[in-house]
Amino acid sequence: MATWKGKSRGTLLGFRIYVQIIKKTGLYSAYFVLLFVAAYFILFSFTSTKSTYYLFRKRLGYSPLSSALNVYWSYFTFGRIQLDRVAITSGLKHKFSFEFDGIEHIENLLEQKKGGILLTAHIGNFNLAKHFFEEKHSEAVVNLVITDFEHRQIKDYLESVTGRSEVRTIVLKEDLSHIFKMKEALSRNELLVFAADRYLKHSKTYKAEFLGEMVKFPQGPFKLAARNKIPVLFVHLMREKNFHYHFYARPYVPKEFKASEILKAYLDDLEKMVKKYPHQWYNYYDYWNDFS
């Protein structure tokens, strides 16, 4: 798997333009502009286009023509989800509906008073999860564990437009200070959220099969849960038709509380999500070393 550099796609200028379009002409106008932006990425972002084509063609078994068309739709969906994030947090939340599937699992986790680990991926729109916790679990404190490279400028700009999120962040640091912050959060019965489908260079990894091919995954989240017997949920927030978002929460039910077993259960869950929502999994690089 080609090493992820720790940055997500998107530019500050792009976000500024979309915010202004939404404010001046509305969400549908922004979607319309996105039709052309998605076409631009097809032509001028060769590596991510090729990687996404391989996802549909080699991993999901689509035909060559269908794979090509779905690359475009993947770009469009990614952009639309970013626009939804701006719109929902800028006063247009009433245009969207939310479905909470598995709410009882979060309630059960909080009642155990051990903290909890929520394993998600670079899929769907988990940035909107704060609305779930604000409405359904206002007492829950959520810490999103992120890299130090995840576009600080864009995050700061979005917060200036939409307001600061109730979801806290713990930044992964070379001096390992994040480990102490995570342990402190868990001791306060707080939740840690990891997007566990990518690893950074020099990270310790496991190798496991995902969509028919071996891939490396970070050891950290799985070892942390296994060593300390911390309750684990697999969570995703997915966009569906008619401005509808579906929040999934599924518990890890241990046979043996081993890191390898948690990883296997996580990948089983993630594979189902990718197959159900193939346009909402956003790893725009050579994930399986298909052409490197």
pLDDT in tens, 44-89: 888 899 999 999 999 999 999 999 999 999 999 998 988 888 888 7
What is the pTM for the complete model shown? 0.87
Give the mean model confidence (pLDDT) for residues 204-220.
Answer: 94
Query: Residue 119 above 90 pLDDT?
Result: yes
What is the pLDDT, as a whole number, of residue 158? 55
Determine the Cα–Cα distance for residues 269 and 287; give it in Å rounded to an integer: 18
What is the pLDDT, as a whole number, of residue 134? 67
Percent of the chain with pLDDT over 70: 84
- Per-residue pLDDT band for 137 (boundaries 50, 70, 90) equals low
What is the pLDDT, as a whole number, of residue 151? 46
If one compares 256 and 76, the residue with the highest pLDDT of the two is 76
- Per-residue pLDDT band for 20 (boundaries 50, 70, 90) equals confident
Closest alpha carbon to 83 in 6, 15, 24: 15
Query: Residue 100 above 70 pLDDT?
Result: yes
> By the 8 A CB rule, do 86 and 158 touch?
yes
Residue 209: partners with Cβ closer than 8 Å, 6 or more residues away? 215, 267
Query: Residue 222 above 80 pLDDT?
Result: yes
* 98: three-class secondary structure by DSSP: strand
| Least confident stretch, 56-65, 110-119, 262-271 | 110-119
What is the pLDDT, as a whole number, of residue 94? 87
Determine the Cα–Cα distance for residues 278 and 67; give it in Å rounded to an integer: 11
If one compares 199 and 175, the residue with the highest pLDDT of the two is 199
Query: Residue 254 above 50 pLDDT?
Result: yes
Crossing angle (nearest 10°) for helices 64-87 and 152-162: 50
Give the mean model confidence (pLDDT) for residues 99-120.
Answer: 90
Closest alpha carbon to 141 in 195, 93, 185, 197: 185
What is the pLDDT, as a whole number, of residue 6? 46
Query: Residue 195 above 60 pLDDT?
Result: yes
> By the 8 A CB rule, do 148 and 172 touch?
yes
Closest alpha carbon to 58 in 213, 281, 277: 213
Query: Residue 19 above 70 pLDDT?
Result: yes
Determine the Cα–Cα distance for residues 234 and 248; give it in Å rounded to an integer: 8
Determine the Cα–Cα distance for residues 42 and 94; give it in Å rounded to an integer: 33
How do residues 147-194 score in pLDDT, each as one tens digit?
Answer: 755 545 556 655 555 555 556 788 877 777 788 999 999 999 999 999
Give the mean model confidence (pLDDT) for residues 33-41.
Answer: 88
> By the 8 A CB rule, do 124 and 241 touch?
no
- H-helix segments, the chain: 12-25, 27-44, 46-54, 64-87, 103-111, 129-136, 152-162, 177-187, 220-228, 259-276
Q: Concatenate the DSSP letters of all residues of 118-131 into one string.
A: EEE-SBTTGGGHHH
What is the pLDDT, as a whole number, of residue 87? 85
Determine the Cα–Cα distance for residues 78 and 243; give it in Å rounded to an integer: 14
What is the pLDDT, as a whole number, of residue 227? 92
- Per-residue pLDDT band for 1 (boundaries 50, 70, 90) equals very low
CA torsion sign, 165 to 167 to 170 to 172? Answer: negative
